[in-house]
Amino acid sequence: MHTKIEDETQGQETKSSGYKWIVFGVMFAIMGIVLGANWMVMPVLFTQMSETTGIALSTFQTIWALIPLGGILICLPAGLAADKYGVYWVIGISLVLCTVFGAMRGVFSSYAGIAIATFLWGGSSYVFMVNYPKVIGQWFPPNQLAAINGLVMAAYSIGAAVGMSISGTMISAAVGGWQNTYHFWAALTGLCTILWFVLVKEKRDEASGMKKSQEAIAAEANIGSMRMVGNILKIRDSWYLIAIFSLLMGGWIGLTGLFPSMMEQLGWPRADANNSMAVSTVAMIVGCAILPMLSDWIGKRRWIFTVSMILCGLATVMMFLAVKTPGNSMLWVFLTVLGFMAGAMPIILAIPVELKAIGIALAGTAVGLMNMGSNITGFLFPLAGMSMLNMEPIWSGLLFGGVGFVLAGLLALMLTETGMKARAKS
C-alpha cells in the first residue's frame, strides 16, 4: 500500500526526469573542480610556496583559515539572495568571481597579495556550497535528496583527491610551478562557469512534494531579509543544524588543512604527506555514495549520521597517535575509516529541505546560516589546532575528532527525524 508521500514522489520522478540529470552533471563538475580541487590544492602547495617566496610555512597555514573567513561574510547574504531572486544568477555570478580570484592566487608572491586573493576566492566559492542543496531540492524528489547530496559531495572528494595527489607534483612540474598550477585550475573553473550559464535553468516550483509552511509562503511573498532570518531562527531544529554543521566543518577544515604539513614536519616523505588526505577523500567518495543512499533507503537520518560521526572522531584521534611514527602503516587504515564515515556529511544538508518549517523556499537562508557558523569554526579550529600542535599533536586530534566530529554526531540525536518513514507517519 502506497503512502501519500510515495505516490507524490513517483509522480515527481517522471517530471523533468531527463533534464534533472543534466543539472546534476553540472553541479557534479562544479563541486569537483571549483570547490574540491581548487580548495584542497592549497595545502600541498604550501611547502613550494614557502620555499620560493621565503615566507614561513606556518604563515601560509594561516592563509588556509582565510577561506572560511571569507565564507563568514558571504554565506548568509548568498542564501538570502538565492531565496529571494533565484539560484541561477546568484551562483552564476559567483562562478565568474571564483575564476578571477582563483587565478589571482597565482599572480602574487607576497603574503598580503596571496592572502587577499585567497580571502576573496573563499567567499565566492561558498555561494555554491550554500545553495546547491536548494538546487537539488528543486529538481529531485524526497526519496533521492540525501543520495544526490551525497553524490554531489562525492564530487568534492574526487576533485580534492585529484587536486591533492597531482597538483603539487605532476601539474606543478608540467606548468612551471605553483603559480601556474593555480592558473590551471582557474581555467577549469571558467569552463564550469560556461556550463552553468549554458545548461542550467531556474526552476521556480517545488519538486519535494512537501507542504509549504507559513514561513515558506512568506518567503515567496518577498518578505524582508531580516524577517526571513528571524523565521529560521525561531525554529528549534535550526539551532541544532547550525551547531552540528559548525562543529563538523570546523573539525574537517582544521584536520585537512594541518595534517599534511604536520606529517612532513614529523619526518614523513612529502609524497606520503601529499597523499594522506587524498586517501581519506577517496574513501569519502565511496562513503558519500553509500551512506546517504542507505539513509534514503531505510528512511532514517539521525542514527546513520551520529554513528558515522562518532567513528570519524575515533579515527581522527588514532591518526594523531599513529602519525608520530613515520612509516606506520596503520595511519592509512585510520585515514580510510575517517574518509568513508565522513561520507555521511551530506545527510545533514538534506534535512533543511525536508523540514516543513523551512523547505525549499527558505533552504538557502537556512544553509547560509549553517555555513556561516561553520566558517567561524573553520577559521578558529585551524588556528587552535596549530597552537596545540606546538604542545602535543594529540590535543589537535581531540579538538578535531572529539569536539568536532563526535559532538556533532551526538547533537544530531536532538534533531527532528525527517527521513521518509518519519514523514510518511506524519
What does the pLDDT look like over 42-65, one tens digit per residue? 888 888 888 888 888 778 777 877
Q: What proportion of the chain, given as a percentage, has pLDDT over 70?
A: 89
Higher per-residue pLDDT: 343 or 160: 343
Evaluate whether residue 94 is within a structural domain: yes
Contact 97, 38 (CB under 8 A): no
CA 169 to chain centre: 25
Q: Please tell me the predicted confidence (pLDDT) of residue 243.
A: 95
On whether residue 112 sits in a domain, the answer given is yes
Query: By residue range, what is the domain housing residue 398?
Result: 19-417
What is the secondary structure of 215-284 as a DSSP string?
HHHHHHTT--HHHHHHHHHTSHHHHHHHHHHHHHHHHHHHHHHHHHHHHHHTT--HHHHHHHHHHHHHHH
Buried-exposed string 311-347: b where 16+ CB fall within 10 A, e elsewhere: bbbbbbbbbbebbeeeeeeebbebbbbbbbbbbbbbb
Q: What is the rounded average pLDDT of the residues 206-224?
A: 47
What is the structure's pLDDT at 128?
94
Residue 208: band (very low, low, confident or very high) from pLDDT cuts 50, 70, 90: very low
For 222-259, write each residue's pLDDT tens digit: 556 677 788 788 889 999 999 999 999 999 988 887 88
The structural domain count of the chain equals 1
Nearest CA-CA partner of 192 in 125, 278, 123, 288: 125
Radius of gyration of the chain (CA): 21
Q: What is the pTM of this model?
A: 0.77
Is 1 domain-assigned?
A: no
- Neighbouring residues of 68: CB distance < 8 A, sequence distance ≥ 6: 122, 249, 253, 374, 375, 376, 377, 378, 379
* Structure confidence at residue 218 (pLDDT): 46
398 vs 188: CA distance, rounded Å? 37
Q: What is the predicted pLDDT for the residue at 70? A: 81
223 belongs to a structural domain? yes
338: number of CA atoms within 13 Å, CB side? 33
- Does some domain include residue 294? yes
| pLDDT value, residue 204 | 58
**Nearest 10 degrees: Cα torsion 250, 255, 258, 264:** 180
Query: Does residue 374 surpass a pLDDT of 80?
Result: yes
423 assigned to some structural domain? no
Residue 125: inside a domain, yes or no?
yes
- Cα separation, 365 vs 41, whole angstroms: 29
- The DSSP element (H or E) to which 350 belongs, if any, is helix 345-354
Confidence (pLDDT) at 422: 62
Question: Does residue 16 register a pLDDT over 90?
Answer: no
**What's the pLDDT at 426?**
57
Q: Mind giving me the DSSP string for 65-104?
A: THHHHHHHHHHHHHHHHHHHH-HHHHHHHHHHHHHHHHHH
Average confidence (pLDDT) over 275-280: 82
pLDDT of residue 225: 65
311 to each of 55, 118, 336, 338, 425, how far by Cα in Å? 37, 32, 11, 7, 30
Alpha helices in 140-224 (DSSP H): 145-166, 172-175, 178-199, 214-220
Is 4 part of a structural domain of the chain?
Answer: no
Give the residue among 134, 93, 23 at the shortest CA–CA distance from 366.
Answer: 134
pLDDT in tens, 326-372: 888 899 999 999 999 999 999 998 888 888 888 887 888 888 899 88
Q: What is the CATH number of the domain that holds 351?
A: 1.20.1250.20
DSSP state of 210: P
Residue 219 pLDDT greater than 70, yes or no: no
Asked whether the beta carbons of 338 and 312 are under 8 A apart, the reply is: yes
Q: Are 268 and 311 in contact (CB under 8 A)?
A: no
| Three cell numbers written together for 5 | 508521500
**Closest by Cα among 254, 241, 242 to 404:** 254
- CA pair distance 118, 64, nearest whole angstrom: 8
pLDDT single digits (tens) 306-319: 999 999 999 999 99
Of all residues in the chain, what percent carry a pLDDT higher than 90?
35
Average pLDDT, the chain: 84
Instruction: Give the pLDDT confidence score for residue 421 in this predicted structure.
Output: 66
Residue 15 has pLDDT above 50, yes or no: no
Better pLDDT: 357 or 13: 357
